Chain A
Amino acid sequence: MKQEGLKYFTDTNLTAVGLIIFFAFFVGLLFWVYRKSSSEIYIEMSRLPLKEENSK
């Protein structure tokens, strides 16, 4: 019955590609975020909420 409606789901290549894209995104994100050289900027970023204390 629903086979026709779901045909493109049975395409293992397509689902595999989807999986790889998602997985690669996350691994890439992890690597990017945890690069050593970015420590300084992240410290700076995390201080943004605390920086605006010169209000009058």
Chain B
Amino acid sequence: MTNSSLSERIYYDDDIVKKFVLATMIWAGAAFLFGLLAAFQLAYWPLNGNLEWITFGRLRPLHTNAAIFAFGGNAIFAGIYHSSQRLLKARMFSDLLSKMHFWGWQLIILSAAITLPLGYSQSKEYAELEWPIDIAITVVWVLFAINFFGTIKRRREKHLYVALWFYIATIITVATLHIVNSIEIPVAFLQSYPVYAGIQDAMVQWWYGHNAVAFFLTTPFLGLMYYYVPKAANRPVYSYRLSIIHFWALVFIYIWAGPHHLLYTSLPAWAQTLGMVFSVMLWAPSWGGMINGLLTIKGSWHLLRTEPLIKFFVAALTFYGMVTFEGPLLSIKSVSAVGHYTDWIVGHVHSGTLGWNGFLTFGMIYYLVPRLWKTELYSKKLLENHFWIGLTGVLLYYISMVVAGITQSMMWRALTPEGALVYPDFIETVVRIVPLYWVRAIGGTLYLIGFFMMGYNIYKTIRLAPAEQNDEAADVVRSGYGELTKETHRKLEGMGLTFSVLTFLAIAVGSVIEIYPTLSLHKYVNAADIIEPYTPLELAGRDIYVKEGCYNCHSQQIRPIVSEVLRYGKASTIEESMYDRPFQWGSKRTGPDLARVGKKYPNLWHLNHMLDPRAVTPKSIMPSYPWLFEKDTNFLILRKKLSVMSYLGVPYEQDVVANADIHAQKQALEIAADLEENGAPKGLSKKEIVALIAYLQSLGQKGKSE
């Protein structure tokens, strides 16, 4: 059939794929280690070693960024570079761009690994990196896009296989999300304030945050699934038609789901309902994809014996099915009321990342490495052991966290017949679940042990590979250009550009309708409810709160739920966070909500609490913060900070902006005097702890009616 005169010999760039595979392995190890350390810290607080750089509030962003962008990112790129060249019958557009993409991405990861432990953070989950790194991400992503679309343009296969659709959607949407969510104004080399405030910031952030899951951890991995599962099972995907419906439904619906992270907050009800409805709808296309993947393997069960790596794909798809069932469930408002702020969510996301993304990546790497290095896998036995140990680890993790989450939530909500809280002390609900934190840490350890087995297996495989490695050559024939069918309906799949524009429109509609009204909300707040902006010292303290990552364990958003109002005070309003840049609503309550903690305790209580939380709350699992007593507050930068805030529309008087440092020092002296009077050491006024206390005492106290 093949006409030899039309056949061309081309060489695939496998070197870049190998690079990304190795980077995936290295960063996966780092991400898992950070996560494991964080897990042990929650079970046993002294494990931060009194080092500020690895204290939970800074370690958790490091862990999530490493897991998503370093491990997930490199895995995606490895798979995309490998499969796209073969599906398009073309070498990557430019070897130089490929290299720039690779090294640029590793530099971004490295700069994240340096800045996050140092406390340079925007505090927006999965978008913590500061503005210079944000710019670098944009540049590298554009290089990647040029390289990818350039390859599409040069392709020798007219038809774009469905995996490529998922890659295109990923590239376009991640760019949109990253740029819109990262609009910020720098105040220093590594600090900035977002242009959005309070509810706007919350809405934009969770539109981004949820779609980071959707378009960084779901669509690209689905693309990989649609390529590697058929390859490993050696049979075409079960239903190509289903894959098309799966694609469009996901792209259209996912973008709307963000507000399910903000149920029962001060976000307007219409947006909450919209987020909930679309989240529930997502169940259908997600399961369509899972079923499609599993049924592809269905006829190849015998391969499980000869190709055990398929087990990873089966488990990954099963986890995908579980997670995409649980996600919509958790997005139902009444279920969210129970699950939100608890460890249930932590369990949910880890069954997604460890079970779905992790196992799919492991399967892909076990498939790729022997083929790329032209050899056999060193040990299938070791692979089997990795699978079972890893699976046990994920299950222990997931089960312990769901039980912990529901247990704690039930304790938070428990009311006596008289209508009082059964567990008024938050710490009681924490102590109860600490044993489960140990179980989770054991689960994580197992997962990591399995991963080390994989590392050894891959290392041995590569060591035993033939020394001489050439790019793989292939004889390809241009196809799909009319020789198959003349029908017009095939046009769309063949037109990369039109297709990309349609995909962009699909995500743009949802984004604009959801975000645009929220952006104008502050204009319509009730004038009587408008709050006072933070004083300069409070703002300095707030930035310390952000830097230490307090939001990782403390929310600032009281939901209109009986037990919550009893515990924390009246529900939070839109006005209360309208000057908050960035917003600090948080998403997890390892400790209590702080939205109305101001004036609840004397200054000295806070001082003692930050020095040793157990001095005021026995059995507290919060780490101590002795460095806040040593470091000086940067007063001078406050002029710049306030002028940026003022530029963004916060109503500061001119004098306060111009003399921000003087105002701050005055307030700091007052607080320090109060502390001394009550027995604290002298000379604290310049220290960060005083600024932080000023901020904590202002929480919930800024309303004019208060």
**Contact surface of A with B, Cβ cutoff 8 Å:** 1-6, 9, 18, 22, 25-26, 29-30, 32-34, 37-38, 40-50, 52, 54-56
Q: Given A1, A38, A44, which contacts B489 in the complex, CB threshold below 8 Å?
A: A38
Q: How many B residues touch the partner, as a band?
A: 35 or more
Q: Given B235, B474, B487, which contacts A55 in the complex, CB threshold below 8 Å?
A: B474
CB of B472 within 8 A of CB of A6, answer: no
Q: Given B234, B268, B487, which contacts A2 in the complex, CB threshold below 8 Å?
A: B268
Tell me the nearest residue of chain A to B9, going by C-beta. Answer: A56
Judge whether B490 is part of the interface by a CB distance below 8 angstroms.
Answer: yes
Given contact pairs A5-B520, A5-B521, A48-B157, a sample of 17 additional A-B residue pairs in the complex whose CB atoms are under 8 Å apart = A2-B521, A25-B248, A33-B241, A33-B244, A44-B484, A45-B161, A45-B162, A45-B240, A46-B240, A47-B236, A48-B161, A49-B163, A49-B230, A54-B474, A55-B472, A55-B473, A56-B474
Chain B 470-503, CB-CB to A under 8 Å as 1, else 0, gives 0011111000000011010110010000000000
CB of A49 within 8 A of CB of B231, answer: yes
Q: How far is the CA of A9 from the CA of B362 in the complex (A)?
A: 46
Judge whether B551 is part of the interface by a CB distance below 8 angstroms.
Answer: no
Judge whether B189 is part of the interface by a CB distance below 8 angstroms.
Answer: no
CB of B268 within 8 A of CB of A6, answer: yes
CB of A45 within 8 A of CB of B157, answer: no
| Number of A-B contacts defined by CB within 8 Å | 94
Tell me the nearest residue of chain B to A42, going by C-beta. Answer: B240
Most B-side CB within 10 Å, residue of A6, A26, A38, A46: A46
B110 neighbours in A (Cβ, 8 Å): none
List the one stretch of B97-105, B300-308, B523-531, B618-626 in contact with chain A: B523-531
A2 neighbours in B (Cβ, 8 Å): 268, 517, 521, 524
Judge whether B141 is part of the interface by a CB distance below 8 angstroms.
Answer: no
Q: Contacts A22-B252, A29-B245, A34-B241 known; A1 to B230 CB distance under 8 Å?
A: no
**Contact surface of B with A, Cβ cutoff 8 Å:** 2, 9, 83, 86-87, 89, 157, 159, 161-163, 226-227, 230-231, 234-237, 240-241, 244-245, 248-249, 252, 268, 270, 472-476, 484-485, 487, 489-490, 493, 513, 517, 520-521, 523-526
B476 neighbours in A (Cβ, 8 Å): 52, 54
Tell me the nearest residue of chain B to A6, going by C-beta. Answer: B517
Nearest Cβ distance between residue B268 and chain A, in whole angstroms? 6
CB of B249 within 8 A of CB of A26, answer: yes
Q: How far is the CA of A46 from the CA of B242 in the complex (A)?
A: 11
CB of A54 within 8 A of CB of B475, answer: yes
Q: How far is the CA of A9 from the CA of B456 in the complex (A)?
A: 58
A-B contact pairs, 30 of them (CB 8 A): A5-B517, A5-B521, A6-B268, A6-B517, A9-B517, A25-B252, A33-B244, A37-B487, A41-B487, A41-B490, A43-B240, A44-B484, A45-B159, A45-B162, A45-B240, A46-B237, A47-B236, A48-B157, A49-B163, A49-B227, A50-B231, A50-B236, A52-B87, A54-B474, A55-B473, A55-B474, A55-B475, A56-B9, A56-B474, A56-B475
Nearest Cβ distance between residue A51 and chain B, in whole angstroms? 8
CB of B244 within 8 A of CB of A29, answer: yes
Nearest Cβ distance between residue B488 and chain A, in whole angstroms? 12
Nearest Cβ distance between residue B157 and chain A, in whole angstroms? 7
Nearest Cβ distance between residue B519 and chain A, in whole angstroms? 9
Q: How far is the CA of A25 from the CA of B476 in the complex (A)?
A: 37
Q: Given A6, A29, A50, which contacts B234 in the complex, CB threshold below 8 Å?
A: A50
Q: How far is the CA of A22 from the CA of B278 in the complex (A)?
A: 13
Q: How far is the CA of A8 from the CA of B525 in the complex (A)?
A: 18
Q: How far is the CA of A45 from the CA of B391 in the complex (A)?
A: 34
CB of A1 within 8 A of CB of B525, answer: yes
Tell me the nearest residue of chain B to A56, going by C-beta. Answer: B473
Q: How far is the CA of A31 from the CA of B517 in the complex (A)?
A: 35
Most B-side CB within 10 Å, residue of A32, A38, A50, A52: A52
CB of B270 within 8 A of CB of A29, answer: no
CB of B87 within 8 A of CB of A40, answer: no
Nearest Cβ distance between residue A27 and chain B, in whole angstroms? 11
Q: How far is the CA of A22 from the CA of B161 in the complex (A)?
A: 25
Nearest Cβ distance between residue A8 and chain B, in whole angstroms? 8
Q: Contacts A1-B524, A1-B526, A56-B474 known; A42 to B241 CB distance under 8 Å?
A: yes
Nearest Cβ distance between residue A43 and chain B, in whole angstroms? 8
